[in-house]
Amino acid sequence: MDNIVLFKSKVGDVTKKDLYNALIKIKANECDYLFIHSELSFGLPNLKLSKKELLGHILDVFKSLKVKNLLVPTFTFSFCNREEFDVQKTKSLMGIFSEFFRKQPDAKRSVEPMMSVSMIGEDTSVIDEIGNVSCGEGCTYDLLHKKGNTKFLFLGNRMSDCMTYTHYVEVVENVPYRYPKEFKGIVINNGVVEEKTYCLHVRYNHVEPFKDRRIDDLILKNGEGDVILLGDSQICIANEAGVYKCLGQAIKENPNYMLEYSCPKPPFDDYYVYEKKVAL
């Protein structure tokens, strides 16, 4: 692995080799499906590299892990803002690496106007055979859970800040503060235009999600993940099956586990404001 400098951090240079070694140390290579969330907060990008070159080196590191299937969220929540979703053209709202990954010639994106996923790998069934429930039965998370041997990686993020998979577990556990809402809109795929309906489990109004690091603490305490420092930030990893088990148990014991405050009592306010979203 090359010693190309990717980031200039307060504690020194972060090289391509450093990134690779960190990923190996937390066993990111020991899975069949690696689902990557990214913030790239390791330091200032090396100004000698173009943005495309920097992202290309990072993708090259992931491909060097030899994981059979690499996945990234390319969520758009298009129907939540009454927007059309074009599988090939609608930009990901999940950061620059996500968008770069989506545009790779060997990447494929799911036909999903809310929570699309792009992947490079062998088993595209986890994005091809999805249903119309964006974060519930038949979604990519559900298919990955049934496949097994999946890990979630957080490249510069805390798990508590962006593990959208936790909302899938909320739906499985039928939490009282989410309800299934239907959204209709236009999906364009390779120029073919169709009107489609998708279901997304949204929160009732006045329900406040937690703001602390409880997901990180839960996963690490139960031995279902790991974290390693790199530059000005960190890389976290979590085992899908372990998260499903320990978070599911936490919600069973306390249905308000994922909330800052206890869920309001019925009747619930289900008035929905159509707007651009970047999180569920």
| Digit-coded pLDDT (tens) for 128-177 | 999 999 999 999 999 999 999 999 999 999 999 999 999 999 999 999 99
Residues contacting 42, CB < 8 A, separation 6+: 6, 7, 9, 14, 156, 230, 231, 232, 233
H or E element, residue 60: helix 51-64
Residue 1 pLDDT > 80: no
Q: Structure pTM?
A: 0.97
Residue 37 pLDDT > 90: yes
Residue 32 pLDDT > 90: yes
Which pLDDT tens digit goes with each residue over 82-134? 999 999 999 999 999 999 999 999 999 999 999 999 999 999 999 999 999 99
* CA dist., res. 110 & res. 269, Å (int): 32
Which pLDDT tens digit goes with each residue over 2-17? 899 999 999 999 999 9
Give me the pLDDT at residue 279, please. 81
Closest residue by Cα to residue 228 from 45, 57, 25: 25
Q: Tell me the average pLDDT of the chain.
A: 97
Give me the pLDDT at residue 88, please. 98
* CA dist., res. 103 & res. 92, Å (int): 10
Name the token pair of 243.
């998260």
- The band of 275, judged by pLDDT with boundaries at 50, 70 and 90, is confident
Which residues does residue 13 pair with via DSSP β-bridges, in sequence order? 8
